Amino acid sequence: MTQSIDINSIIQIARDAGDEILKVYGTEFSVDTKEDKSPLTEADRRGNEVIVNALESQFPEIPIISEETQTVSYAERKNWEYFWLVDPLDGTKEFIKRNGEFTVNIALVHNGTPVLGVVFQPVGNRMYYASKDDGAWFSENNGPASPMKGGDHYSSKSKVTVVASRSHRTKEVDEFVAQLQSQGKEVEFLSAGSSLKLCLVAQGKADVYPRLGPTMEWDTGAAHAIALEAGRRVIAADSGNPLTYNKENLLNPFFFVE
């Protein structure tokens, strides 16, 4: 299936959604609150409409789970072999703060594992993308794409760069850092918003991302595919098993990207 999908078409959909988001970004937009108390803007709605309409038009046979679209019941989706997993605007809090650290995320999931991912940062025009067995790639300002390859596992390093959430730093992350320091490691912090944190590990700019707080499947799917193709792992903090998708509850466990 991934071989029959031209990733350039998914990249273009992400760019088109980014264009709509930036139209709102430059205005005095209002902020609504969803049932789970998270923020929602016109940009989330517009980006979602662009992505869902394009995917339904180009790939009518592949179902979609999107953050901004009513989730399909587990009884209906549990046997899906393939589906799109979409977060049209990851990092709405960063969007509202106008710090540019928000992304458009589109993933294709096959039997619980992301096999294609596109993460687009409209501010800065940065594109991260990957599909199974074709490597992970990064381009900026429409320039040529360069391959991404994460480095050695952080356990083998004396200096460890830890990337953490700009909006969701937890005491568990601080405890993880203290543990590294107790092993004699020098720890450097890198802060970033949205799915950019997984992409920074994929690029080798960070060694580990401990996400010891709640996320949803659509927050991670696209960047997870990119991390895998860059030679990284995304594993549950409690079991060490790979993160899986299309669970009955779409909430992710705490996890590490390493």
Integer Cα distance of 90 and 86 in angstroms: 9
User: In the structure, what pLDDT confidence band is assigned to residue 41 with cuts at 50, 70 and 90?
Assistant: confident
Let me know: does 100 contact 111? Beta carbons within 8 Å: no
What mean pLDDT do residues 114-132 have?
98
Q: Is 235 exposed, middle or buried (0-12, 13-18, 19+ CB in 10 A)?
A: middle
């294609």: which residue's tokens?
116
The β-bridge partners of 103 are: 90
| pLDDT above 90: percentage of residues in the chain | 83
pLDDT in tens, 69-91: 877 999 999 999 999 999 999 99
For residue 138, pLDDT over 90 is answered with: yes
pLDDT in tens, 215-239: 999 999 999 999 999 999 999 999 9
pLDDT of residue 120: 98
pLDDT in tens, 149-192: 999 999 999 999 999 876 667 899 999 999 999 999 999 999 99
pLDDT of residue 165: 78
What mean pLDDT do residues 115-119 have?
98
Structural domains in the chain plus CATH codes? 2-147 (3.30.540.10), 154-257 (3.40.190.80)
For residue 37, pLDDT over 80 is answered with: no
pTM for the model stands at 0.95
